[in-house]
Amino acid sequence: MKSLTIAMATAKEAIRQPAFFVLLIVAGLWLFWSIFVSYFTFGEDIKMYKDTGLTTISFVALLLALLTASSTVAEEIEGKTAITLLSKPINRRQFIVGKFIGIEMGVLLMFLILGIFFSGGVWYKYAYDLREAAGGAPEMGRQIDQVKQVFPGLALGFLEVTVITAISVAISTRMPMLVNLVVCISIFFLGHLTPILVEATKGEKTNELVHFMANLFAFLLPELEFFNASPAISTGAVIPWLGYVLPALGYCALYSGAALMFAFLLFEDRDLA
């Protein structure tokens, strides 16, 4: 109950900050403008629109999570606001859990708003491309199928941001905003590149140190490619909820839980005075 109270206050702070509206407007304008952009894919522009749209939503939600984690955790600790809150019957673990849930609420709202707008964009983009190419009217069923394809992608994007949010909360207990942003964005890109690095460093001619470092990154960092919906989108396939999204949810829960446990350890002996 105490964690929920902190979560609600954190969610309100996340939504009311100027960054929320700036990111929302910028992403919304990009999603709208992208509808009318020609990707020169010979009739497959809708796939590129889905790919860029999902990436845009995930990235702006990630920026919101990082900025909120820094402002509601790191700055409260540095500004001695946290010690006032923790002087009440609230322990440090409830503080961390409440902050994490509150940030997730703000991120979820961002995903819902942009997800609805993006779904409408996919609906219109499919009909727009069909009219431009052949001058025909789209079938209602085909339009619905195009929209349904992005829902698992949105869910996977939210899970990906959740993992980085948990890491960001842990880092924010010790580091300021700039360090948090640099580290988390680096983890975001490395988390997508580690499978490629591991594969590229296999073979007898590969330097052993390079191969070791690639495997070390793969072991320590989250495998964010697991949440990448682009390969399925590029083939026009629908990502199965039970066969793929559910295992991704389990992976997200395990890694986020481990990151929050690490946050507990970092925050347990942090001097707040």
For position 40, what pLDDT does the model report? 63
- For the chain, what percent of residues have pLDDT higher than 90? 45
More confident residue, 273 or 213: 213
Q: What is the pLDDT of residue 212?
A: 79
DSSP at 229? -
pLDDT at 136 over 70: no
Q: What is the pLDDT of residue 32?
A: 93
The reported pLDDT for the residue numbered 167 is 95
For the ranges 27-31, 88-92, 137-141, which has the lowest average pLDDT? 137-141
Name the phi and psi angles at 103, rounded to 5.
-65, -40
Domain boundaries, the chain: 2-268
Torsion over CA of 134, 138, 139 and 144, rounded to 10 degrees? 130
Residue 103, both tokens: 């940030």
Per-residue confidence (pLDDT) for residue 128, from 0 to 100: 79
Residue 243 to residue 13: CA distance in whole angstroms: 36
Mean residue pLDDT of the chain comes to 86
Closest CA relative to residue 196, chosen from 229, 218, 164, 222: 218
d(CA 159, CA 249) in angstroms, rounded, equals 7
Specify the range with the lowest mean pLDDT, choosing from 82-86, 185-189, 267-271. 82-86
104 pLDDT higher than 80: yes
What's the pLDDT band for 8 if we cut at 50, 70, 90?
very high
202: pLDDT strictly greater than 90: no
Mean pLDDT, residues 203-227 taken together: 79
Of 15-29, 69-83, 94-108, the one with minimum mean pLDDT is 69-83
How far apart (Å, rounded) are the C-alpha atoms in residues 172 and 102? 15
Hey, what amino acid is at 169? V
Q: How confident is the model over 229-261, as pLDDT tens digits? A: 877 876 778 899 999 999 999 999 999 999 999
pLDDT score recorded for residue 60? 95
Q: For the residues of 126-181, what is the DSSP string, one character each?
A: HHHHHHHHT-PPPPHHHHHHHHHHHHHHHHHHHHHHHHHHHHHHHHHTTS-HHHHH
Q: Output the pTM of the full model.
A: 0.91
CA-closest candidate to residue 54, choices 164, 188, 157: 157
Given this model, what pLDDT does residue 269 score? Answer: 78
**Residue 129 clears pLDDT 80, i.e. is over it:** no
DSSP string, 67-102: HHHIIIIIHHHHTTHHHHHHTSS--HHHHHHHHHHH
Comparing 40 with 265, which gets the higher pLDDT? 265
Residue 58 sits at the vertex; the CA angle it makes with 53 and 64, to the nearest 5 degrees, is: 130
Q: What is the pLDDT of residues 39-90, one digit of tens each?
A: 666 667 888 888 889 999 999 999 999 999 888 887 777 766 666 666 667 7
Report whether pLDDT(198) > 90. no
Alpha carbon distance 263, 195 (integer Å)? 26
